[in-house]
Amino acid sequence: MTTTDAPLGDLTGRRAQAIEDYRTLKAQGRVLDLTRGKPAPEQLDLAQDLLSLPAGRWTAADGTDCRNYGGLKGLPELREIFAPVFQVPAERLLAAGNSSLELMHDCVVHALLSKVPGAVRRWADETRVAFLCPVPGYDRHFALSERFGIDLVPVPMSDEGPDLEVVERLVADDPTIKGIWCVPKYSNPSGVSYSDQVVERLAAMPTAAPDFRILWDNAYAAHHLTDEEVEILDLLGACEAHGHADRALVFGSTSKITFAGAGVGFFGASQANVDWLLAKSGKRSIGPDKVNQLRHAQFLRDTDGVRTHMKAHRALLQPKFELVLDVLEQELGGTGLARWTTPKGGYFISLELVHGGASEVVRLASEAGTALTPAGATHPYGDDPHDATIRIAPSFPSLTDLRHAVTGLATCVRLVGYERQLSR
Ligand code: PMP
């Protein structure tokens, strides 16, 4: 977080300037969208060659005819490429459909309907199932859990990951806490990466539930924005070392590597968990789209190929993040109204309003034409107790649109912030 200085000078004058700037913003009548972290068309163009692959070939390295049924675990050569990316041995990394979110969904549903390894009973037969949710966090994790009646328990985040004092206390005492949602690298939306100590403690902590699971959504594993390519500790390895091999469920995908709608999702875990998921997913599908997996393997070639490709993404994304940070500094630096994160990777910047009023800011921005993720979306049940967090997704708009949208957002922050300061 960038901490800003205390406000100085004439608040009334500042508010008057903010009102004037807001009028101008509205009069410009530009319609922009900063809601979701979608790749920009130029980023999708980077993987355009996928559309002409697999170029008349259909045979995998092991001779599998990719056009045919079968191969539930996914194409071995693609699993080899992504094993180091997701820190899962290739034999325990599954390549599945086009989305990791659907794998998370399936794991939750299967855990409700069939006992996970180590469970006494199915989660559907428990009186209560609860997941810990480090906040701010990813709204789709919350929505998925809510859909199945899983209670959500917020846990504060530090700049090293979830507050482990809180997590350890809750999981030690309460057997109804069955899981924790984690985005361990360049987290959505704060950009935080978990420290080694946090990963180690998550792996080691005693849990009252014998079937406790860490849902490790490593969506931004390869998505660096600076030369400091953050590496996190290998959770699966740490869990094994602490005698909790079945605790970790690892998810990832190429959604923000190749095509967001036509990539490949991955799942990795202990052998027992992998066998459990395969047994269930074998009832749902005869096998994944191996032709898509083959074209991905041909296109990316090897793990280094993934790194090289991600550098091309970085070249497009980094200027957008820098622009947002520059505008925030110019417009809000020194005002004492807001703090924001400076992520080293991922897709989001998290803006925190010192005096609250995020819903009001989002409403005003929307009335001026800029759509933002709803305030509260970063918290379970949409309930941000301080109404403080706004998620900024810089990837999709052009640089020109982004400058306009973030300047407008900052205008709304000034308007609401000074208003609140004056009414105190
Ligand atoms: N997890 C996180 C943390 C994300 O930010 C996103 C995309 N916004 C997803 C999962 C979705 O992944 P997929 O496209 O693989 O379903």
CATH of the domain at 260: 3.40.640.10
Average pLDDT over residues 68-86: 98
Asked if residue 136 is part of any domain, the answer here is: yes
For residue 344, give the DSSP letter. Answer: S
Average pLDDT over residues 358-367: 97
Q: Which of 140, 218, 396 to mutate to test the pocket of ligand 1 (most atoms within 8 A of CB)?
A: 140
The rounded Å distance from CA 261 to ligand 1 centre is 11
Summarize pLDDT for 121-139 with one digit per residue, the tens: 999 999 999 999 999 999 9
Average pLDDT over residues 249-276: 98
| SS3 of residue 171 by DSSP | helix
Q: Tell me what pLDDT residue 324 has.
A: 98
The rounded Å distance from CA 385 to ligand 1 centre is 25
Is any atom of ligand 1 closer than 6 Å to the C-beta of 101?
yes
Same domain, 141 and 20: no
Q: Tell me what pLDDT residue 9 has.
A: 61
Q: Tell me what pLDDT residue 234 has.
A: 98
Q: Could you tell me the sign of the dihedral formed by the alpha carbons of 144, 150, 155, 159, in that order?
A: negative
Asked if residue 347 is part of any domain, the answer here is: yes
> Does pLDDT of 190 surpass 50?
yes
Asked if residue 87 is part of any domain, the answer here is: yes
Q: Could you write out the DSSP letters of every residue in 86-116? A: HT--GGGEEE-SS-HHHHHHHHHHHHHHSPP
- The total number of structural domains in the chain stands at 2
The rounded Å distance from CA 383 to ligand 1 centre is 21
Query: What pTM value is reported for the model?
Result: 0.96
Final residue before a domain boundary, out of 255, 285, 302: 302
Final residue before a domain boundary, out of 302, 334, 362: 302
Summarize pLDDT for 298-331 with one digit per residue, the tens: 999 999 999 999 999 999 999 999 999 999 999 9
Same domain, 257 and 108: yes
Q: Tell me what pLDDT residue 13 has.
A: 93
Same domain, 228 and 80: yes
Asked if residue 116 is part of any domain, the answer here is: yes
Same domain, 339 and 417: yes
The rounded Å distance from CA 363 to ligand 1 centre is 26
Average pLDDT over residues 28-56: 94
Judged by phi (left if over 0) then psi (alpha if -120 to 50, else beta), residue 336 lies in left
Is any atom of ligand 1 closer than 6 Å to the C-beta of 176?
no
Structural contact between residues 223 and 256, judged by C-beta atoms closer than 8 angstroms: yes
Domain that holds residue 324: 11-43+307-423
Q: Tell me what pLDDT residue 5 has.
A: 42
Asked if residue 349 is part of any domain, the answer here is: yes
Is any atom of ligand 1 closer than 6 Å to the C-beta of 187?
no
Residue nearest ligand 1's atom 5 by CA = 188
Calculate ∠ Cα 405-382-177, nearest 5°: 135
Q: Tell me what pLDDT residue 36 has.
A: 79
Final residue before a domain boundary, out of 277, 302, 327: 302
Same domain, 191 and 68: yes
State percent of the chain over pLDDT 90.
96
Q: Count the Cβ atoms, other than its own, within 10 Å of residue 210.
A: 13
Asked if residue 6 is part of any domain, the answer here is: no
Q: Tell me what pLDDT residue 3 has.
A: 38
Q: Which atom of ligand 1 is nearest to the CA of 103?
A: 16
Q: Which atom of ligand 1 is nearest to the CA of 347?
A: 5
Same domain, 284 and 320: no
> Does pLDDT of 424 surpass 90?
no
Confidence band for 283, pLDDT divided at 50, 70 and 90: very high
> Does pLDDT of 7 surpass 70?
no
Please give the distance of CA 411 from its chain centroid, rounded to a whole number. Answer: 27
Asked if residue 330 is part of any domain, the answer here is: yes
CATH of the domain at 379: 3.90.1150.10
- For residue 65, what are its two tokens? 């005819």
Same domain, 17 and 58: no
Same domain, 148 and 258: yes
Q: Which of 85, 215, 255 to mutate to test the pocket of ligand 1 (most atoms within 8 A of CB)?
A: 255
